[in-house]
Structure 1
Amino acid sequence: MSSSLKSVTGSPLAPLPYQPYIDGMRALAVLSVLIYHLHGPWLPGGFVGVDVFFVISGFVVSASIAGFKGRGLWQFLGYFYSRRITRIFPALIVCLLVTALFSALFIPAAWLSAVNQQTGFYAFFGLSNFILAQSGRDYFAPATEYNPYTHTWSLAVEEQFYLVFPLLFIAWLVGGRGRKLSAGLFAIGALASIGYAIWTLRSDPVAAFFLAPGRFWELAAGVLLYQCIGQRREQPTARHWDGLALAALLLILLAFILSRSSNFPFPGALLAVAGTLGLIICLHRRPGFMHRVLGWRGLVMVGRISYSLYLWHWPVFVLFRWTCGLETAVTRLAAVALAFLLAFASYHWVENPLRHATLLRRLPKAVTILAGLAAIGLGSWGARLLDEHTASISLSQLSRQPELWYPHGWSANPQRPGCNADPEYRNAEGGLLLIYQARGCQEPLPPASTTLYVIGDSHALAYEGLFKQYAMQTGRTVHAYNNGGCPFISLQPWRDSENPGCLQHIDAALRDLRTRIKPGDILFLPSLRMPRLADQWGVFSDEKVQEQVFSDRAIAGRQRAQADAVEVLREFAAGGVHIILEGPKPLFKAPPFRCADWFSRHNPVCAPGFSLPREELQAYRQPVLDGFAEIARQLPGVGIWDPFPLLCPGAECSAWRDGQPLFLDGDHLSGYGNQLLLPYFIHHLETQAVDEDRKLAP
């Protein structure tokens, strides 16, 4: 191979001259993505600008190395990767580090930001698409709009493509049959990629969208286009090519308007890919009117900064969403202006100086590559350091007072010096079992012959602060079976007993529970049993909430669920287990944690407020309480603990008490809320256990 390469380096293909229309196409692509990310309904298919970028990248990177002058495989790899590193990573590393800093300052830890820092860390290594694919959140889910690193998935796809590109392209440089071999390899790879995309789309659409195997065909299409037309030297031809170019451009614009989230990446991206290929074919070495259109100075300028603009616009938009919001004309204009300002700064002070640095050109390629890898490593270390010191540098109350805000509450107990009851995590047939047990206490704990068992969804886990303190005060062990999003006996069967995924976890928890629980133990069943009024990014309509509570379907579902609950709980009640159902807590239309700081209090998500009339919430609760009463009537061993009166003592229910948060978001308790309920919870359990024992006594 080395000698073959040597034989063609004397007459390599001349690199293609600069083509302004390519930058014009890049501008259209990045602006479509920017508009879509700013407000999706303005350009519903704007996200396919990324697919346009993929095709352009495949074409341009092929053209950029076709004139390689060197000898041997290793020299070619050094040439290729040194160029890619200096092109991609300087601006990327700076953007990721700045984003990490501002994330630490302004973005609190929450379910909404659960994978943010992990995504950012992997983005340094071109692997963020794997994290996003594993998260289960697709690209179009509202939650992805709160991760400032989501957009790096496309860079990861390109970087992974570049790992195999030179190995498939090198035969092209040999010439002769090598060019046919290279084109054949890319064609086979493209077909395999399409097959993978179709197959994976059925089983795991999130992975199909984010992962490189399903996107390879788009980049390969650009490479194959260059291999088909790039080496030819056509003379300018008739003007009918302008008409075809206009048709291809209209195809791209239609893709920006008509594309929807389904069937991506194949065949969903086909329209954008076809339009991009057609436009390049029509404009390649054929000057005409469309060259002047796409070569307009304003478009070319945006195209030149398109990489930096793509990097910066998304974290800017996300940080606006976390702070002052991105819903008004003023905030949108400010966000766009800031994104362009940062893009210009990045292009002129980061991208260009390093790409064209004389020193870097003189350095051996291996040194450039090693320096680039070292910069990547240092950058990731810096981002990790910022994340670890978030509590000390953050401007958010949540980071400065985590015990007050987060449900895990306080790990220590002032009445029990040295005590700690942080949970031990175990696997229960694929589900999560958390065991809270006091340890390290300097004074002996009260003897405990019984155990508290808990089954529920994230609202059960939101009692973590209470469970830890309960274990330290009573000496009892708490076993909590948890699966987020899967309540237990919610009286909404479509959420648990009719949900196959949830039913599997519930059955596993019950099987494990049967091997542990004994007469006299307590089974506590907290879960979300009313429809949410809001989530962490927006409010739901009153009509939807009322339909989920008062419709004929909801009433029939509750009746079925009541009968099912009696059958499930009967064996535990008959076995002398004390069963306690949790009465529904207050719900709210705005998440307190999103509105706790000076920089976020005026975010539109806070507008619905943090209080509701007790009467309104009681109306939503009553059907659940009626269902509980029927279950308790049929099973004498069942009791009810209702925290609602404690959390809402007046005519107006509030998410705050004496300036402290009772709730983290619209329905999950805060650490302070846990601490408030603790003495009442302990008193209720002790009282009910005694009462039930008296009833069962001969």
Structure 2
Amino acid sequence: MDRDSGNAGAAPPAGHSPRADYLPFVDGLRAFAVIAVIIYHLRPEWLPGGFAGVDVFFVISGFVVSASVSRWDRGGLRDLLAYFYARRMQRIAPALVACLLATMLASALVIPTAWLSSSNDMTGLFAFVGLSNFYLAANHEDYFSPSTDFNPFTHTWSLGVEEQFYLVFPLLFFAWTRGGRWRSLALALFGLALLSSLGDAWLRAHRDPGTAFYLISTRFWQLAAGVLLFLGLSRWNASDALRVRFRQTANAGAGLALVLLGISFWTSEPGAFPFPGAWMPVLGTLGLLAFTQREPSRSLLSSGLASGTLVAIGRRSYSLYLWHWPVLVLLRWTTGVDSWLLAITAVFATAMLAELSYRWVEAPLRYSPALRRWSRIRVLATGLVAIASAATFAVALVKSKPVVSLSTVMRHADEWYPEPLKSLPEKPGCLINKSRRQDGLARSRVYSRMGCAAEPGARAPALFALGDSHALAYVTLLSEYVLHTGATVTLYPNSGCSYANLRTAVESAACVEQHRAILADIARAAKPGDVLFLAALRLNRFSDQDGKPGDYDVLGSLQGKSADQVRDKAEHALLAGLRPLRDAGVRIVFEAPKPLLPAPPFRCSDRFNAVNPICAAGLSVSRSAIEAYRRPVLASLDRLASGLDASVWDPLALLCPGSTCSAARDGHPLFFDGDHISAFANRLLYPSFANFILTGRHP
């Protein structure tokens, strides 16, 4: 997204300019790239490969940034670094910081904390220092997964790649500014870096495609290709005859390159990086730059790309890229962006914000006469202080989200989010104590009580909770059990795996090993009479946090021969795995399936998001439909209970006392999303759960 050569209409820098002449067709090419990206993000089916516009930007950036210092003759490496980094600071930081702060504020107002938004804040904070791509890669946030559509900072990954490239670029390019044989060294350095990056991209793409998509080491080759093109064209000394032939074929060559680029926008596929997905946009961009830059005045395509409208869009391409994604994501979180009216609104809002950003932030600071009179070190230091100050403010904003948020979920977090209770009014002085344990693959959170005397009478059984996120969602209830009884609770996060869900016939090898380690850990810690509580999602959900509006098409998914075979295999595996615990005197309690909802309540809780299409299916479901749906699973649980002398605790009657299962009761949330219960529901269920654990019977 760099635009150093796109400075038409700006006052020339004082003194001799080290930059190459302005090439307006480059801005036209940027316009095509940013339009492709926006169309893809708005409606992927309209331009399936539009994300390749970012590949175009990378090549252009390598080409243009080379032009920006190609005539450098003002001093040594230190002077070049100061000049280059100060220009990068003026060019990139102002608009980026303004966009990040505005997006942070809007996110704090309307986006509640959830699994779907769990990476948002950290992605934005890392973007302030140009490292959001590393954060996304480290957290395996696949660019093409649905969850990234709800992170308003996902697009900053490409800016991170460019900023990291700019840290290395002047060190490699300095040899070129020395002239003579040094220029061959510069070519060799960039060529070697390009080949190394290609190799890294190839290897990583086979091991971890998500990581390969984001990293500078796998993207460097695209930027280096632009650099090498500029350096190669700068050294090109063709004969007169060859020049004439080049002029004759320039239009045809540029047209062919444009066709190749268009094909890439239409055919590039997710997961095809780097081969073959990134090759076509890179080659197409290189061809356009080569043919139009070498003979720009004679190329019809160059004249078309240099048209006023395209150049105007190209000059604003950086701001357009910055703002289009937060606009789309914030609409997804609120009204949705499914209708034509909302799509047009998104485009209009993007254009307006980009124009304001360009006119009042980007251009003024980039071309400021006052800043030109400053030393480059002063510009750089001031920029770093401004970024640090903005990032500090952003951190404070993230921490204050429960206070500033407009979201009902955030304002009433104690009812929506299951969290461990710290204390109870009826148990003065009793506090919860949480510790973490890890024994190999068995990671656990241990909750115990401190600060009060032991309960009189028989010892309450210790609890061990295992399953998946549905076991974790009972943490409020489990902590209340600890505070009331003084017994300990050991909760296993079971990351990436699900135990006893009866929907998976064969677990992955990693999950099998993890579950074996957890069961062994329970066997070592549990005493006769202690309880293993198994809670998991045992029904196929109607909707997900990031999915389409829910429906009941899955109601029959647990019936039929195939589903019966899956549960039969799962039952046999569970019987074999749990019998040693049963034989050791551990009591096993299964959770019966809870109601499911067609839409996630946390995304439909306010006026600004209640009309979102994901809420259209409603926040209630027929109890009779749920009972019929879960009947085959209950039959499996009954067979397991018989084979293990176990029992089944059923929360359905309390969560759904009437003929309709709803998301809320008397204004209080029962469910957080379409299948996880809320903190309020935890407290509602506690008496029944505690009675069942202590007596073995439902009240």
- TM-score above 0.5, yes or no: yes
Partner of 1:3: none
Q: Give CA-to-partner distance per residue, 1:428-448, whole Å, 9 cap, x none.
A: 42453111212334x654563
Letter aligned with residue 106 of structure 2? F
Does the CA-based 8 Å contact 1:12-1:67 persist in structure 2?
no
The equivalent residue for 1:688 is 696
Tell me the equivalent position of 1:7.
none
Q: Choose from 670, 687, 693 the match for 1:662.
A: 670
1:4 corresponding residue in structure 2 = none
Of 190, 213, 216 in structure 2, the residue corresponding to residue 209 of structure 1 is: 213
Aligned AA (2:687):
P
Structure 2 CA distance for partners of 1:571 and 1:543, relative to 1, 3 Å: same
SS in 2 for 1:482: coil
Judge conservation of contact 1:421–1:471 (CA < 8 Å) in 2.
yes
Do residues 674 (structure 1) and 682 (structure 2) align?
yes
Partner of 1:124: 128
Matches within 5 A, 1:233-382: 238-286=247-295, 287=297, 288-382=299-393
Q: 1:164, CA displacement in angstroms?
A: 1.0
Rate the CA distance shift 1:469–1:686 in 2: closer, same or farther, 3 A.
Answer: same
Aligned residue type for 2:335: C
**2:445 aligned with 1:434, yes or no?**
yes
> Which residue, 537, 547, 561 being the options, matches 1:538?
547
Q: Give how far 1:340 is off.
A: 0.9
Residue 9 of structure 2: aligned partner: none
Deviation at 1:551, TM superposition (A): 4.0
Q: 1:280 to 1:343 in 2, by over 3 A?
A: same
Deviation sequence 1:342-385 (CA, Å, 0-9, x none): 11111111111111111211111111111111111111101001
The answer to whether the 8 A contact 1:573-1:635 is kept is yes
Note if contact 2:472-2:493 (Cα within 8 Å) is conserved in structure 1.
yes
- The one-letter code sitting in structure 2 at the alignment partner of 1:426 is R
Q: Return the TM-score normalized by structure 2.
A: 0.94
1:389 to 397, 400, 403: 400
Q: Which amino acid aligns with 1:452?
A: L
Judge conservation of contact 2:671–2:678 (CA < 8 Å) in 1.
yes
The answer to whether the 8 A contact 2:688-2:698 is kept is no
Taking the aligned partners of 2:485 and 2:460, their CA distance within structure 1 comes to 11
Q: Which residue of 2 aligns with 1:90?
A: 94
Q: Cα deviation per residue 1:34-68 (whole Å; 9 max; x = unaligned)?
A: 11111111111000100000000000000011122
SS in 2 for 1:25: helix
- Residue 12 of structure 2 corresponds to none
Other structure's SS at 1:438 match: strand
Would the aligned equivalents of 1:409 and 1:670 in 2 still touch at CA under 8 Å? no
When the two structures are superposed, what TM-score results if normalisation uses the length of structure 1? 0.94
Give the equivalent residue in structure 2 for 1:473. 484
What are the Cα deviations for residues 591-617 of structure 1, in whole angstroms up to 9, with x where unaligned? 000011121111111001111111211
CA shift at 1:103, angstroms? Answer: 0.8
Deviation of 1:224 after TM superposition, in Å, equals 0.1
1:115 alignment partner AA: S
Which ranges of structure 1 fall in alignment gaps of 5 or more residues?
A: 1-10, 692-698
Q: Residues of 1 paired with 2:144 and 2:24: CA distance?
A: 32
| Cα distance change of structure 1 residues 201 and 547 upon mapping to structure 2, 3 Å threshold | farther
Q: Does 1:631 align with 2:637?
A: no
Is the CA contact 2:463–2:488 (under 8 Å) kept in the aligned structure 1?
yes
Percent of paired sites with the same residue: 46
Indicate yes or no: 2:509 matched with 1:488.
no
Residue 543 of structure 1 and its aligned partner are, at CA, apart by 8.1
Q: Distance in 2 between matches of 1:344 and 1:639?
A: 64
Is 1:458–1:485's contact at 8 Å kept on the other side of the alignment?
Answer: no
Q: CA deviation at 1:263?
A: 2.4
Inter-partner Cα distance in structure 2 for 1:84 and 1:428: 48
Letter of the 1:62 partner, please give it.
S
Residue type of the partner of 1:425?
R
Partner in structure 2 of residue 110 of structure 1: 114
User: What is the CA–CA distance in structure 1 between the aligned matches of 2:666 and 2:230, rounded to whole Å?
Assistant: 68
1:408–1:464 contact (8 Å) kept in structure 2: yes
Q: Residues 575 and 231 from structure 1, CA distance in 2 versus in 1: closer, same or farther, beyond 3 angstroms?
A: same
Aligned-CA RMSD value: 2.0
Moved more, 476-485 or 305-314: 476-485
Query: C-alpha displacement at 1:231, in angstroms?
Result: 5.0
Aligned position for 1:594: 603
Whole-angstrom CA distance in 1 between matches of 2:485 and 2:225? 67
Q: 3-state SS of the aligned residue for 1:47? A: helix
| Residue pair 1:409, 1:671 contacting (<8 A) in 2 also | no
Structure-1 separation of matches of 2:555 and 2:269:
30
- Give the drift of 1:673: 0.7
Tell me which residue corresponds to 2:8.
none
Secondary structure of residue in 1 paired with 2:294: coil
Residue 517 of structure 2 aligns to a residue whose secondary structure is helix
Which whole-Å CA distance do the structure 2 matches of 1:430 and 1:362 have between them? 60
Aligned to 1:617: 626
Aligned positions, number: 677
Contact 1:245–1:279 (8 Å) recurs in 2: yes
The superposition leaves residues 63-101 of structure 1 with CA deviations (integer Å, 9 ceiling, x where unpaired) of 011122311110111011111111011111111111111
| Unpaired runs of at least 5, structure 2 | 1-14
Give CA-to-partner distance per residue, 1:166-195, whole Å, 9 cap, x none: 111100011111111111111111111111
Indicate whether 1:401 and 2:412 are aligned: yes
Matched with 2:223 is: 219
